[in-house]
Chain A
């Protein structure tokens, strides 16, 4: 009897231990709705096969809603999210606040040295990797090869703004609703100001001098805005002040744009099945003005762990799976090389198969041409190419974006918009304590 009882007790204890060992950890991943993220959710079987003890629950939200929810959660130490998808703008700010967990201890197979230096630099705070890039992007010129040929022109691989104007003029035929150039005009720090800030770098402009004094009253900003308004008013589509990424994508896909300067990630869309001009698209670096800086930006959607997460080890396991080299190979095997998340790893660009993707070389060249720590010609006190990595920038960028969008809509002049921007930004930076 005693022996049976002991045997039963032992078996129960063993069962309890086994159950404990197999206890499932559930992590909540907050993410945005884009092609690469959706694709990852479809490949989760691979993750579950490798890590049956971790269950992943997804919260997919629109970018701005996600930013608001995640900021609220992280600022209140809520711990609702174990992994968050955040942009290059948030990483330096949140990293400095101590809101993120360092990813320095990811396994050796993760191969941190394989990350593209420009992308890694934007995600590193005080020497610690605070987020792992899921995909990276810059901006570049996408143009219609057939229209350029018809106009007797050839797009240089590294054009100047003068080249862009010549091409825009030659490809414009408004009677056929064919516009030489499509650029962002919709107001917002991540919309028209992402483009205009990156463009201003190539004109030598900067948001602030070394003492945080706004620089919209300087000739570099005047040259930037004048060039932008001239291009758009003469060769752009009507109603451009309402056009953001998606609107311009639609216009380009349907053959209404001769050129479009925007995110490198758009390359797969304009050459994809929904594009009517898929086989007529060429790529070039973002334009410059001979000052040593191009008008291209740098952005990465990255995975990070909030310091309030209660499942940090499981979260790291997930991030390692989603952003290491094996994941890129998995996507290539299941979905083809053109669908591999771009712009994160050096090894991807030395892969012969990936080199056959038409926009691969221009994407890496564009990313390498951006430096978040020295974005423009003159020195600046901030990090960021198409943004300024300070908490106030979202509000500032949107305010200035509205002023510039109004100038594009013809509601004010470039001079008025710049003067109003200078006043608004000076006031805000003074009240925020940057200007003593």
Chain B
């Protein structure tokens, strides 16, 4: 039976939720507003949230100085490619861990997660040399592989958690009806885990889209994604905050829009199995 919530409590919760959301979103809002200011008003002291001289000049300058469509396309290929490849590997892996676990499955899962605890820079030189020698440096396929490997532990863990919530009896029933392993995974398991798979996909696209260390280190011109595009507008000497904000807004806008439209799916997936 659902517990009755008093209007006062509902109001307090709503206000608190809005306050926290605004707090989290405020830096992004500041960046977006700054992107429409002149360089002078972007660094006004004391800082001003709004200005009298709004301008689109920064976007025009950034567009003229860089090949944005190329960076954008590279980001799309790298983030979507690495996520799809990761899912293709992680779905069977998570299936086996969830439904036919061995004695060391838990240890294996922990080990996979522990690889995320290592700072990326620790493997910079080996990975750099590997990419150089194999011709993967500054290629989209190289970054797809690198980001897939980096995010694979998270993908496997998320899918494993979702799969664990699916009653194994349903899979057993499909097997009794004569389904092969392939059909069991593709036609029975996957449709039931769609919310989980969708949220895993979205989260990993976002993670890959925002990754900056490897995407900047392992590229120069051909495969550089939007993280490199942003980095090209950062300057230690000189005022480029408004242009940097415009570049950053252009870089995050696609993923922000994607997140906005898929937030229902994301939340549903992330809270999947949270309440029994």
Binding site for B on A (CB under 8 A): 28, 30, 32-35, 38, 41, 57-65, 68-69, 72-73, 75-76, 78, 80-81, 190, 244-246, 249-251, 253-254, 256, 263, 265-266, 269, 273-274
Contact = CB atoms under 8 A, between A and B. Distances in A.
Given A38-B65, A269-B239, A65 B216 contact: yes
12 contacts: A33-B234, A34-B235, A34-B238, A38-B65, A59-B221, A59-B228, A61-B231, A63-B235, A65-B234, A78-B128, A269-B239, A274-B38
A97 B232 CA distance: 28
Given A65-B231, A78-B128, A59 B224 contact: yes
B16 interface: no
Contacts of A58: 221
B236 A76 contact: no
Interface string B224-243: 10001001111111111000
B217 interface: yes
A75 B231 CA distance: 22
A147 B41 CA distance: 24
A191 to B, nearest CB: 9
Contacts of B217: 68-69, 72
Interface residues of B, number: 30
A72 B235 contact: no
Contacts of B65: 38, 41
Contacts of B45: 250-251, 254, 256
A265 B128 CA distance: 35
B interface majority secondary structure: loop
A333 B232 CA distance: 27
Contacts of B171: none
Q: Lowest 3 A-B CB distances belong to which pairs?
A: A60-B232, A62-B234, A274-B40
Contacts of A73: 128
A379 to B, nearest CB: 32
Interface string B23-53: 0000000000000001110011100000000
Contacts of B239: 246, 249-250, 269, 274
Contacts, number: 93
B236 A72 contact: no
A72 B237 contact: no
B124 interface: yes
B216 A80 contact: no
Given A62-B234, A69-B216, A33 B132 contact: no
Contacts of B228: 59, 61
Given A62-B236, A274-B40, 18 more contacts: A28-B220, A30-B220, A33-B232, A33-B240, A57-B221, A59-B221, A59-B224, A60-B231, A69-B216, A75-B125, A76-B129, A78-B128, A78-B132, A80-B138, A245-B236, A249-B239, A251-B45, A274-B38
A250 B240 CA distance: 12
B72 interface: no
A81 B125 CA distance: 17
Nearest to B121: A68
Contact of B235 (A57, A62, A256): A62
Contacts of B44: 254
Given A38-B65, A254-B44, A274-B239, A33 B233 contact: yes
Interface string B115-141: 000000000110011001000011000
Contacts of A63: 235-236
A81 B220 contact: yes
